[in-house]
Chain A
Amino acid sequence: MSGRLHHGAGALCAAAVGGRATVEEPATTKLRRSGSGASCASSGCQMAPPHGRFSSGGGRASSGGGALSPLNCKQLAYAPPLVAAAPAAPPALPSPPPSCSGGGAWLVAHPLDLDSPGSRSAGNSVTAVIVPTQQHAAPADGAGACRPASPAGGCPDFLAFASPSGPRVHWRQKRTRGAPQRPGGVVPGLNGLNDGVWNALRTDTGRVTNMAALLRAVRDGGVSPHLRPAVWPLLLGLIAPGDSEAARADKWAAARGEFERLAALSADDGAAAAYYERRGAQEPWRATTRRISADATRTASDGPLFRGAARDGAVGRLELLLRAYALHDPGTGYCQGMADLAAPFVHLYASNAEAFAVYRCLMRPLAQNFAEGLAAIAGQLRELRALLAALEAPLLRHIEGLGAGGFETAFQMLLLMFRRELSWGDTFTFWEALWAGEALARAPLRVHAVAALFSARRRELLRLESLDELVVWVNGIGSDPDHPLNPLTLAADAHQMWAFLASARAGEGCGCVPTRAAGGGGAAAAAAAAAASISSGAAVAFGLAA
Chain B
Amino acid sequence: MSISNQSLAKYKLVFLGDQAVGKTSIITRFMYDKFDSTYQATIGIDFLSKTMYLEDRTVRLQLWDTAGQERFRSLIPSYIRDSSVAVIVYDVTNRTSFLNVTRWVQEVRVERGGDVNIFLVGNKTDLLDKRQVSLEESDAHARELGVHFIETSAKAGFNIKALFRRIGASLPGSDAGRGEDAANGANGGGPATVQLEAKAKPAAASACSC
B194 contacts chain A at the CB level, 8 A cutoff: no
Docked-complex contact A373 and B74, CB < 8 angstroms:
yes
Dominant SS at the A interface?
helix
Q: Is the CB of B72 within 8 A of A336?
A: yes
Instruction: Tell me how many residues of B have a C-beta within 8 Å of chain A.
Output: 25
Q: Which residue of A lies closest to B21 (CB)?
A: A294
Are B71 and A408 in contact, with the CB atoms below 8 A?
no
Minimum CB–CB distance for A515 against chain B, Å = 47
Shortest distance in angstroms between A313's beta carbon and chain B's nearest beta carbon? 16
A residues near B68, Cβ cutoff 8 Å: 336
Interface residues of chain A, those whose CB is within 8 Å of chain B, are 287, 291, 294-295, 297-299, 301, 335-337, 339-340, 370-374, 378, 406, 408-409, 411-412, 415-416, 420, 468, 471-472, 475
Q: Is the CB of B47 within 8 A of A471?
A: yes
What residues of A have a CB within 8 angstroms of the CB of B96 in the complex? 287
Chain B residues with Cβ under 8 A from A378's Cβ? 74
Contact (Cβ within 8 A) B75 A408: yes
Report the Cα distance A68→B48, complex, angstroms: 54
Please measure, in the bound complex, the distance between the C-alpha atom of A301 and the C-alpha atom of B47, giving whole angstroms: 21
| Beta-carbon nearest neighbor of A372 in chain B | B71
Inter-chain contacts of A420 with B (CB < 8 A) = 40, 43
Q: Mark B65-86, 1 if CB is under 8 A from A, else 0.
A: 0011101101100110000000
Task: Write out the residue numbers on chain A whose beta carbons fall within 8 Å of the beta carbon of B39.
Answer: 298
- Find the B residue at minimum CB distance from A375: B74
Instruction: Give the chain B neighbours of A412 by CB distance below 8 A.
Output: 43-44
Inter-subunit contact B40/A374 (CB<8 Å): no
- Of the candidates B47, B69, B75, B79, the one whose C-beta lies within 8 Å of that of A472 is B47
B residues in contact with A468, CB < 8 Å:
47, 49, 62
Across-interface contacts of B47 in A (CB, < 8 A)? 468, 471-472, 475
Q: Which residues of B contact A415 (CB under 8 A)?
A: 43-44
* Residues in B whose Cβ lies below 8 Å from that of A411: 43-45, 72, 75
- Contact of A298 with B38 in the complex, beta carbons under 8 Å: yes
Q: Closest chain A residue to B69 by CB distance?
A: A336
* Chain B residues in 8 Å Cβ range of A471: 45-47
Contact with A along B13-51 (1 / 0, CB 8 A): 000000110000000000000000111110111111100
- The 7 A-B residue pairs with the shortest CB-CB distance, nearest first, are A411-B44, A294-B20, A471-B47, A336-B69, A412-B44, A412-B43, A298-B38
> What are 27 pairs between A and B in contact, CB < 8 Å?
A291-B20, A295-B19, A295-B20, A297-B37, A298-B38, A298-B39, A298-B40, A298-B41, A335-B71, A336-B67, A336-B72, A339-B41, A370-B71, A378-B74, A408-B44, A408-B79, A409-B44, A409-B45, A411-B43, A411-B72, A411-B75, A415-B44, A420-B43, A468-B47, A468-B62, A471-B47, A472-B47
Q: Quick one: given A408-B45, A468-B47, A475-B47, are A374 and B74 in contact (CB under 8 Å)?
A: yes
Docked pose: A295 CA to B72 CA in angstroms: 15
Within the complex, the shortest CB–CB distance from B5 to chain A, in Å, comes to 12
Q: How far is the CA of A374 from the CA of B43 in the complex (A)?
A: 13
Nearest A-chain residue to B68, judged by Cβ: A336
The reply to whether A336 and B43 form a contact with Cβ atoms under 8 Å apart is yes
| Chain A: CB-nearest residue to B10 | A468
Q: How far is the CA of A416 from the CA of B44 in the complex (A)?
A: 11
Residues in B neighbouring A408, C-beta threshold 8 A: 44-45, 75, 78-79
B75 x A335 contact (CB < 8 A): no
Q: Decide if A295 touches B41 in the complex (CB within 8 Å).
A: yes
